[in-house]
Amino acid sequence: MNMKQTFKLKKGKISFDENSIIIKDHAKKQKWSLLLILFTGTFYGISTLWSYFKSGDQPELWVGLFISLLNLLGLTLWLFRSVRNEISLSEVRSINFNQRFSNQFLDIKLNSNRLRRVTCADNETELKGFIETNFQSKLN
């Protein structure tokens, strides 16, 4: 595969060359922001549970449990995400397109079972055609 192809994303760009995929987006910043929010929510849920043990008020128990478990689930899911900017093609297990609501994603599944999610632009048909042509037969 002799290529150097770059595609514009909603917030950044993705480039493919012979040996790697280079992604320039704000994934690291988004991950740290979300982790801060999830840690804060977990702390709030645990403090609500703690106040239940002091007051015995039943709603505090359920609210605290719900908030704590929801935030811990979010933290666990983020452990399986990658925010690496450069990925070697030998590390890639699969590349798939997914859609949630109106958002298009390019999911790059790595051999380490981590997922690198890239938010695609509105003109993702060009990127989809490029990946199907150059990668699908090599990865599956």
The pLDDT score that the predictor gives to residue 12 is 85
Extents of the domains making up the chain? 5-24+84-139, 32-79
DSSP letter, residue 43: H
Q: How are the residues of the chain apportioned to helix, strand and coil, as percentages rounded to the nearest 5?
A: 50, 30, 20
Separation of first and last alpha carbons in the chain: 16
Give me the numbers of helices (H) and strands (E) for the chain, helices first please: 4, 7
Does the pTM surpass 0.95? The reply is: no
The pLDDT score that the predictor gives to residue 37 is 93
Tokens of 34: 């979300």
DSSP letter, residue 18: S
Task: Give CATH for domain 5-24+84-139.
Answer: 2.30.29.30
pLDDT tens-place string over residues 39-93:
999 999 999 988 888 888 888 889 989 999 999 998 888 888 888 889 998 899 9
Q: CA-based angle 65:45:76, to the nearest 5? A: 80
